[in-house]
Structure 1
Amino acid sequence: MRRIAYVFGALVATGAGTYLIVYLYRWQWQRAMICGVLLLVVEVMLFGLVTLGRLNRIEERLRDTDRRQRELDARTEDVLTRLREPAAAREETRFRWLEDPAERSYVFVPVLMVAGVALSGLAWVVQKIATATGRPAERRLAGRLAVLAAPDPASTSAPSTDPADPAAPDDLDDLPPLGAGTSRGRTARRTTVAALCAALLGALIVGLADLTQTRGEEANDSEATSVVVQVDLRGTDLSAARRTLAAQQIWAACRDSTAIPLRHVALGDLGDGMFAGVVRPALTEHDLMRLRGCLEDATLERAHLTVVAVGDADADDD
């Protein structure tokens, strides 16, 4: 699912970036801004997907670390229990005659009784002190030995050591280092992707530089340039007066889009939503592109203007 999202985001970003460049070249600023916003949204989405992926990997690593720590703690407790078993057995079997003195009632020598009780009590106190002070050392020793303890047979499977098994390694020295093939393949893929990205970026920069380079334009030798446009309206008011008003508003908004402002140029109504304007002097190719882009990219509500035809007119034309 994540790969599908990456592919979809990459395709949308490529399309938005392409049309952003196309609309900038056509001087259609509103459409270029929409494509730019869409490109930013897709980039933020891809960045969020990459960030979520990295956070998920970090969470998985933390869970693996916790699981390994729990296994290590379990091994530590197991080793600690094994270390304490002899001490517990000695504690149960040592000085049992002190627990039930009624069985030793036949010992009638008071001196031996007092000396035995004193020595036994002293030994019992020494044993308790040694047991209490020796537990931290036993825990540290168990923690060190937990690394050497064998893993649980139910959770891990040992590799085959049978010489007849073809999968069993003959010699550990003959095995390749871990991650050698993976690192080489990853390095080759990264190098290929980096070279491809650099080539695409260089082609994009060269193309944009060629399209946006400022060049001296040749003057148009014609007397005038004629522009025929069509106005389409949406809504309830589709009258001829509303079309004329919309055409005049859009034309007035685009008068300053050319190098020579079109201050004294008016549109003539041809009927059926068609309007024509004659510009003098004739527009150059760059000015004509800017005028077309401004007219077709107008932001008048419920109105859309389409440039139907453009052409140069000489003095002898009707």
Structure 2
Amino acid sequence: MRRIAYVFGALAAAGAGTYLIVYLYRWQWQRAMICGVLLLVVEVMLFGLVTLGRLNRIEERLRDTDRRQRELDARQEDVLARLREPAAASEEKRFRWLDDPADRTYVFVPVLMVAGVVLSGLAWVVQKVAAATARPAERRLAGRLAVLAAPDPGAPGDLDDLPPPGSGSSRGRTARVTTVGILAAALLAALIVGLADLTQTRAEGSNENEATSVVVQVDLRGPDLTSDRKALAAQQIWESCRDSTAVPLRHATLGDLGDGMFAGVVRPALTEHDLMRLRGCLEDATLERAHLTVIAVGDAEPSDE
């Protein structure tokens, strides 16, 4: 599902970015702004998806780390218990000669008895001091040996997550990443070269023709679809776009051809760049419930005057 979202987002971003460049090239600012907003929304969505994916992976790693830490603690406690078993056994078995039945008769020299009591007391003190000071060392030793302890047979092993030897997954992944990087770099270079060619400032030659004629069609939405309403809408759009060219359209008139068709004559004739700017302004007009479409464009030669 996440891959489908990534593919959908990438296609939407590519489409929005492409039309953004196209509308900017056509001087259609309103449509370019809409595509720019759409591209920004898609980028935020992709950023959110990537962030959520990273957070999920971090949570999984934290849970895996906690599980491994619990397993390591269990192994440490097991090793610590095994280390303490000989000490507990020796503590239980010390001075067994004192536990013999009392009905037996022994001949003890009083000096030996006193010496034995004193030595036993000293040994008991030494044993207690050694047991008290050895426990931290035992815990540290158990922590070091826990790594070498055998895992629990019922728990999944860490080796199950490793790829089999000789699978070649790392090489295949490296090859895929390299291929994708090369293709992305090539596409980016082509995009930069194309944009540089389209946006390069060049000296534009003048148009030697007498005038330029533009035929447009007005489409309205709403209850008022009369010819007067269409003529008013066409005139408003035409007047708003008279300043879109490098040379102001001072003597440009717009005539009604009927059936929502209108023709404008521009003198002097427009150059290719000015004609593109005028067409983009006319088709990108922001008049409410009105849309204008450029049907035809032509130049009038001096001989036709």
TM-score computed with the length of structure 1 as normaliser: 0.80
Question: What's the counterpart of residue 197 of structure 2?
Answer: 210
Are the structure 2 counterparts of residues 148 and 55 from structure 1 closer, same or farther at C-alpha, using a change threshold of 3 Å?
A: same
Deviations 1:35-84 (A, max 9, x none): 12222222222222223222322222222222211111111100111111
Any conservation in 2 of the 1:295–1:305 contact (CA below 8 Å)?
yes
Question: What's the counterpart of residue 282 of structure 1?
Answer: 269
Tell me how far 1:105 sits from its aligned partner: 10
Across the aligned residues of Structure 1 and Structure 2, the Cα RMSD in angstroms comes to 3.3
Any conservation in 2 of the 1:97–1:104 contact (CA below 8 Å)?
no
Question: What's the counterpart of residue 247 of structure 1?
Answer: 234
* Separation in structure 1 between the aligned mates of residue 248 and residue 21 of structure 2, nearest angstrom: 26
SS in 1 for 2:216: strand
Question: What's the counterpart of residue 216 of structure 2?
Answer: 229
Question: What's the counterpart of residue 169 of structure 1?
Answer: none
Counterpart of 1:223 in structure 2: which amino acid? E
Write out aligned runs for 1:94-173 (5 A): 94=94, 123-155=123-155
Question: What's the counterpart of residue 308 of structure 1?
Answer: 295
Tell me how far 1:16 sits from its aligned partner: 1.3
More displaced 10-residue stretch of structure 1: 120-129 or 16-25? 120-129
Any conservation in 1 of the 2:151–2:157 contact (CA below 8 Å)?
no
Of 254, 258, 268, 2:245 maps to: 258
Tell me how far 1:210 sits from its aligned partner: 2.3
* Separation in structure 2 between the aligned mates of residue 179 and residue 287 of structure 1, nearest angstrom: 65
Deviations 1:196-230 (A, max 9, x none): 12221222222222222333333323221111212
* Separation in structure 2 between the aligned mates of residue 179 and residue 36 of structure 1, nearest angstrom: 48
Tell me how far 1:13 sits from its aligned partner: 1.5
More displaced 10-residue stretch of structure 1: 141-150 or 239-248? 239-248
Question: What's the counterpart of residue 87 of structure 1?
Answer: 87
Question: What's the counterpart of residue 285 of structure 2?
Answer: 298
Deviations 1:181-207 (A, max 9, x none): 344333322322222122212222222
Question: What's the counterpart of residue 166 of structure 1?
Answer: none
Are the structure 2 counterparts of residues 12 and 303 from structure 1 closer, same or farther at C-alpha, using a change threshold of 3 Å?
A: same
Q: Which stretches in structure 1 are left out of the alignment for 5+ residues?
A: 160-176
Tell me how far 1:272 sits from its aligned partner: 2.7
Tell me how far 1:22 sits from its aligned partner: 1.4
**Equivalent pairs: percent with the same residue?**
82
* Separation in structure 2 between the aligned mates of residue 30 and residue 55 of structure 1, nearest angstrom: 38
Any conservation in 2 of the 1:262–1:279 contact (CA below 8 Å)?
yes
SS in 1 for 2:148: coil
Question: What's the counterpart of residue 191 of structure 1?
Answer: 178
Question: What's the counterpart of residue 72 of structure 1?
Answer: 72
Any conservation in 1 of the 2:283–2:293 contact (CA below 8 Å)?
yes
TM-score computed with the length of structure 2 as normaliser: 0.83
Question: What's the counterpart of residue 15 of structure 2?
Answer: 15
Write out aligned runs for 1:16-95 (5 A): 16-94=16-94
Question: What's the counterpart of residue 257 of structure 2?
Answer: 270
Aligned length: 298
SS in 1 for 2:225: coil
